[in-house]
Amino acid sequence: QTAQKGGFKHFMLKEISEEDEALANTIYAHIFNDKINMDIDEELLKKTDKITIVACGTSYYAGLTSKYFFEELLSIPVNVEIASEFRYLKPIFTQNSIFIAISQSGETADTKESLNLAKSFGVKTISIVNVQESTIARLSDYVLYTLAGPEISVASTKAFVCQLAMLYLFALKIAQLKGIEIKPYLNELMSLPSILKTEFSRLNTEVEKIAKKYANVKNFMYLGRGLSYPLALEGALKLKEISYIHAEGYPAGELKHGPIALIDENTPTFVIAPNFEPLYSKTISNANEVKARNGKIILLSDKFSNIADDFVQVPNTSYFFSAFVNIVPLQLFAYHIANILGNDVDQPRNLAKSVTVE
């Protein structure tokens, strides 16, 4: 068992440490000579006028994070829906809609039924799946495999970064077909594995220290704006899943409409704020509102602010790629809290790796 875990105490930590390699495998499998290779009908991609993305749990948050990049790059609407909701909605597809199902396991019942619903409307379907030959992979018209390798820990980590990378590659593929300049984006995507490789141990050590300080806290708030908002949701989900601590993820600007009532000296707030204006300043000003209610701030950013009680310096990237680096400390924080609390990190209570029933 210890050997399988590569010297790590838990699969979860091992899997976070493998994110650089998982990303590299996923990205490089699709790039040749600065072009993106995908075995998908190019005419279909060129005329796409709407994208509907459906998934559950962490896969859903990967979809939600990618929406910001898709819409910026392609200027087409991207709807991201929770599968258990989507399957009972009246879906609205356009003439040239594409449907994307995201699933690590490829077996999630709600995601599978959403895919079947889309197919019944005659929409072309693509799945982003990690497990080869899984049900969702077999049912969809096209499959894009993430090459994360087996993910054992119930809480999903390396699959998330690979799903996000695949969604970015897919957006770039469409952009390339439309004649949009993609080289700078491609270069940045390709630079990520080495950044994650270099930064993992430093982040792990720093985050563990911070986790020790906060291990007895009962409630956490996670705030972000733009694509850091879905990351806030994913950070809060990770913490709930394995530490059993209550956590709320919120868009930072929405704080004043309710959740700020929760803030006091016992409720710390994770603030995810990439150095990108105006979002950075706006987010810091929301953090100030927390501070004014005696809330402690854990700041995750490539730019320091003296508002922070604790600061995790993440590597500098451009805004759209910040999600790939910010997710790592969020996963590590949940991991270390759960480990300090003595929880069964890889097999958290009440949860299953894949939910194959409705």
Name the residues annotated as catalytic: 353
Nearer to ligand G6P, 144 or 279 (CB): 144
Find the shortest distance in angstroms from Cβ 134 to ligand G6P. Answer: 9
Beta bridge partners of 300: 272, 312
Q: Give helix 183-214 / helix 158-177 axis angle, nearest 10°.
A: 160
Find the shortest distance in angstroms from Cβ 103 to ligand G6P. Answer: 3
- Which residue has its beta carbon closest to ligand G6P? 57
Nearer to ligand G6P, 156 or 269 (CB): 156
Alpha-carbon gap, residue 298 to 270, rounded angstroms: 5
Nearer to ligand G6P, 155 or 247 (CB): 155
Give every strand in the sheet of 269-272, ordered side by side.
246-251, 219-224, 269-272, 297-301, 310-313
Find the shortest distance in angstroms from Cβ 10 to ligand G6P. Answer: 15
Beta bridge partners of 272: 224, 300
**Which structure tokens are listed for 190?**
């390709």
Place of tokens 């730019």: 303
- Is 311:272 a contact under the CB 8 Å cutoff? no
Alpha-carbon gap, residue 86 to 273, rounded angstroms: 31
Nearer to ligand G6P, 190 or 355 (CB): 355
Nearer to ligand G6P, 174 or 334 (CB): 334
Binding site for ligand G6P (CB under 6 A): 56-59, 103-105, 108, 111, 154-156, 351, 353-355
Alpha-carbon gap, residue 277 to 233, rounded angstroms: 21
Place of tokens 């709320």: 248
Find the shortest distance in angstroms from Cβ 33 to ligand G6P. Answer: 32
Find the shortest distance in angstroms from Cβ 140 to ligand G6P. Answer: 13
Nearer to ligand G6P, 261 or 351 (CB): 351
Find the shortest distance in angstroms from Cβ 303 to ligand G6P. Answer: 31
Alpha-carbon gap, residue 66 to 87, rounded angstroms: 21
* DSSP assignment letter at 216: T
- DSSP string covering 140-206: SSEEEE-------SSS--HHHHHHHHHHHHHHHHHHHHTT---HHHHHHHHHHHHHHHHHHHHHHHH
Nearer to ligand G6P, 82 or 307 (CB): 82
Find the shortest distance in angstroms from Cβ 111 to ligand G6P. Answer: 5
Strands 246-251 and 269-272: what pairing? Answer: unpaired
Percent helix, strand, coil in the chain, to 5, is: 50, 15, 35
